[in-house]
Structure 1
């Protein structure tokens, strides 16, 4: 490995910034007042959508006073150990924005935090983009796997995809064989490391 001092390698800080800016998961850095210091493009797009979080006056804010209070209280408790916050998106508390944050630095009274977040309605889609590769899934099996992980039943998948239920079952059997599982519960257990 070349050192930075010999001038042959680009500045690692700049490389890191480029790398994380292209990350598909929304990431940002905020200070203790929730002022956004930096956000990648994915985070900016998510905040513009105003589903649960938004960007107001240069600050990260949660939509609704109860969510805002949750966000502020959580931020005040963050340490260098990552911590999660679940903000409900809807009144039924079925869908959430899952936030992971940690203290990055504390300097002269200022505190800086790294935060990543995802909407539980879209997280699996984001993280499953390349899941066909490690298991050798076909395009059709990969598509069926997405449905299975979203909770869809064989009949619903068949209707939605215009397939016969037996064709869907055949894909499910093939997926189970390739992932070496024999039930949906085992499928979820097998894929859990890939979804975090």
Structure 2
């Protein structure tokens, strides 16, 4: 099966380390893996234009289309972000906003019955989702909740570990995730859970 790792950090560093830990184990279990660092890509924020409703796709032309294609083809999404002021990074938020809107309107119409939407399956329905957040000291759980809320509203299956899937690293801007033994252990068990489910889904 196919797993992609999406890193929302604007630099090489700690978030990348945790994501690659998960992808490495999945690769060793014979799954196809792709790592996508958003820092190298141009992804603008959602404009709320609703053109995706009419066109069935996001009409903003940048690197989003290539990333979204990988997201729709994958069986598992491993998505990570450092914590900036208690939140995920702006570029990752932009990607998820556009991906969520695009995925919904590719499969559903903007119409109601008795003032209620009748949602069906969406592009991401049934895919596995593993959120990872990283901070020096605190803020991970709020950012983690942002990722989990996105997964839930887009009909993905959120996968956890034996503790919250957060890392503690980056004191004074340092790149030291490999020193977070507990965090790396959590990521390792996360990979085990993902592999367990991917083997059964596949």
Larger relative contact order (Cα-Cα within 8 Å, sequence gap ≥ 6): 2
Q: TM-score of the superposition, structure 1-length normalised? A: 0.25
Bigger radius of gyration among the two: 1
Question: Greater strand percent: which structure?
Answer: 1
